[in-house]
């Protein structure tokens, strides 16, 4: 079993839908990072969380340390949101432990 699990693995949504991607982890963490990888391969940092909630534009990320769970929400989804979303945690070191990724496709 992976130390960081994401669900769903694949997600297809219609434009405008509210999207939630979940991340559960089984290790103690120092921080959790949500990343976005576009089809071309480039990786963009979306959020780094150690507690609570963060919002940036249409994206919201939350983390519950006690439950070892984080969610990434996308409001009013758009085809340009189509990408792979990766949850990654730091557990005592500066090395990432990556989740399995969620492949999102938003249809126009």
Partner 1 sequence: GAVVSQHPSWVICKSGTSVKIECRSLDFQATTMFWYRQFPKQSLMLMATSNEGSKATYEQGVEKDKFLINHASLTLSTLTVTSAHPEDSSFYICSARLRDTYEQYFGPGTRLTVT
Residues that bind partner 1 (CB under 8 A): 30-31, 33, 35, 40-45, 48, 86, 90, 94-96, 98-101
Give the C-alpha distances (Å, rounded to integers) separating 13 from 45, 46, 65, 108: 22, 20, 29, 9
Least distance (Å) from partner 1 to the CB of residue 31?
5
**Residue nearer to partner 1 on the CB measure, 48 or 60:** 48
Please give the Cα distance from 37 to 87 (Å, whole number): 11
**Residue nearer to partner 1 on the CB measure, 94 or 108:** 94
Least distance (Å) from partner 1 to the CB of residue 41?
4
**Residue nearer to partner 1 on the CB measure, 41 or 108:** 41
Least distance (Å) from partner 1 to the CB of residue 4?
10
Q: Are 78 and 59 in contact (CB under 8 A)?
A: no
| 59-64 and 52-56 strand pairing | antiparallel
Least distance (Å) from partner 1 to the CB of residue 16?
27
Task: State whether residue 80 is helix, strand or coil.
Answer: helix
What lies within 8 Å, CB to CB, of 40 at 6+ separation is none
**Residue nearer to partner 1 on the CB measure, 14 or 51:** 51
């Amino acid at each position: 079993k992976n130390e960081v699990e994401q669900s769903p693995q694949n997600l297809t949504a219609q434009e405008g839908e509210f999207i939630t991607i979940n991340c559960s982890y089984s290790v103690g963490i120092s921080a959790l990072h949500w990343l976005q990888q576009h089809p071309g391969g480039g990786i963009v940092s979306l959020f780094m969380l150690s507690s609570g909630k963060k919002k940036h534009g249409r994206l919201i990320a939350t983390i519950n340390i006690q439950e070892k769970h984080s969610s990434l929400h996308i409001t009013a989804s758009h085809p340009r949101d189509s990408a792979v979303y990766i949850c990654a945690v730091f557990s005592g070191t500066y090395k990432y432990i990556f989740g399995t990724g969620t492949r999102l496709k938003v249809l126009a």
